[in-house]
Structure 1
C-alpha cells in the first residue's frame, strides 16, 4: 500500500515497511517502487525500508521541466525530512543510482552508506546522450508504448527473456504506466548528468556496487569504474539489468550482507 506526501512542491508516492535503520530504495527509469516488491519484505525484517516512486514515475506527480539528478535528489532529501529520518542508506537502481550519487554529492551527512545497483558514476557518451533526445522525440511522436516495448527486452539477460516471460511482461506493464511527459523529462535529465565517479572515489562512506554479468545496458566495467577502501563489489551471474526480478534472492543476500557489515 503506497502512501503519499508533499515534498519539494510535488506529490510523492512511496512504500514503507519494517523498523530499524532506514534503507531507501530508488528504482530505475520507467519503473516504480513496485520494482522492489521481492526485496522490500526481506530487508524489512530488520530495517525500515522506504521505496519512493520518483517524480514522473508510478503514482508520483509529473511536473513540467527537465528532471535533473539534483532535482530528484532534493525530492528524496525532503522525503527523509518529512519522515523524520536523519540518516539512511541509499541504494539506487540504474536511474536511481544516478540520483543516489547526486544525493551523496550534496548531502553526505544524511547518509550511513550508499550503493549503485546496475548503475554507474560515468556520464553519458555523446552517442548515448543523442539517443536520450531521440527517445524524447520518439515518445512525442509515437507515445510511450513503442518506446517501452523496445526498452524492456534490453533490461533482461537474453537467456531470461524466455524463461521469465511473466516477469518481463510485468516490467513492461509498469513501463506502460509511466506518463509520457515523465519519461521525456527524465531522459533530458539523464542526458545532462555530470560525471560523479569522484563522489565514489572520495567518499568516506561504505559503498555497494552491484553489476549483472549479462547486463546489456550498463556493463560491469562501467559499474566498477572506481575503487576505494570501503567498497563491496559484486557481479551477479546470469543476470542482466534487473536483478531485483531476475535473481531477487541473491540481490537481497548481497544487500543484507552490505547493510550488516562492520566497516
Structure 2
C-alpha cells in the first residue's frame, strides 16, 4: 500500500514499506519509481525494514516546478528519515538514485550505516552527456514524455532482455510514461549540473556496495567501480544491463543481503 510523508520543506513523498529490523531505503533511477524495487523488496524484507521511495518529480510524489539539485533530493531523504523517526539507515540508489545517495553521504553521513550505488557512478556528466540532458529536456517540453520514454527504455536493458523480459520492459515503460513532464525536465537539469563526488567514495569510513552490469549500455562497470578500497565491495552482475533489480532480482537481492550481513 502506498503511503505518504509530508516533509518540513513542503515536499510530499510517496513510499512503500515492508518487513522489520534495520531500515533499508531504496531509491530508483530517472523516470522510475518505487515500483522498480518490487521484485527485490520481499527478499530484503525477510531480514530488514525495507522502504522504497518515489523521489520528488517521480511516481506519486509531488513534482514542484523548481530546481531539482542532487542536494535537494538528498535533503528530501534526510527529512523523510526524520519524519519516519528512523535511526541510521542503509541507503541504496539506482542510477539517479545513486547520485542522490552520494549527495546524501556527503552531507548526512551521520544518518548512514552503509550505502550503495546500483548501476550508478560518482563521476559527473561530461560535455556530451550534458548536451544530451539538454536535448532530452527540450524534447519533453516540446513533444511530451512519450517519445522520450519509448526511446529510453530499450537502452536500459541488456539487448537480449528486451525480447525475453517483455513484462519488465513494459512495466518500466509504464512507470516512465507516468512521470510528470516538469519533474523529468527538472531532474535532467539537476543530473546535468551534479558535482563529481568520487571523493565521497574515496574518503568515506562507511561500508559501500557498488553494483554494475556487464551489459549496461547507460553506465559501464568501469564508471561504477571508480574507487577501490577496504570498505568497498564491488559486484559485477553477468548478462545484466542497467536494470539489475528487474533483470536479475534474486541475484541483486542476494548481493545486497550479503553486504548487509557484513555491514
Q: Look up the match of 1:183.
A: 184
Report the Cα distance in structure 1 between the residues aligned to 2:26 and 2:77, rounded to whole angstroms.
10
Structure 2 counterpart of 1:217: 218
Separation in 2, partners of 1:39, 1:73: 23
Structure 1 match to 2:16: 15
Matched, 1:4 2:10: no
Given the two structures, how large is their TM-score scaled by the length of structure 1? 0.99
Q: How does 1:28-47 map to 2 (within 5 A)?
A: 28-47=29-48
**Which structure 1 residue ranges, 4+ long, deviate > 3 Å from structure 2?**
none
| Residues in 1 aligned to 2:98 and 2:109: alpha-carbon distance in whole angstroms | 15
Kindly state the Cα deviation for residue 107 of structure 1 after the two structures are TM-superposed.
0.5
TM-score (norm 2): 0.99
Per-residue CA distance 1:107-131 (angstroms, 9 max, x = gap): 1010000000000000000000111
1:204 match: 205
**What is the aligned partner in structure 2 of residue 104 from structure 1?**
105
Q: Which runs of 5+ in 2 are unaligned?
A: none
Alignment length (residue pairs): 262
CA distance in 1, matches of 2:113, 2:233: 15
> Does 1:122 find its partner at 2:123?
yes
CA distance in 2, matches of 1:40, 1:151: 25
Structure 1 runs not aligned, ≥5 long? none
**Secondary structure of residue in 1 paired with 2:68:** coil
Q: How far apart are the structure 1 equivalents of 2:170 and 2:45?
A: 26
Aligned to 2:194: 193
1:48-197 alignment, distance < 5 Å: 48-197=49-198
Matched residues in 1 for 2:229 and 2:249: separation? Answer: 26
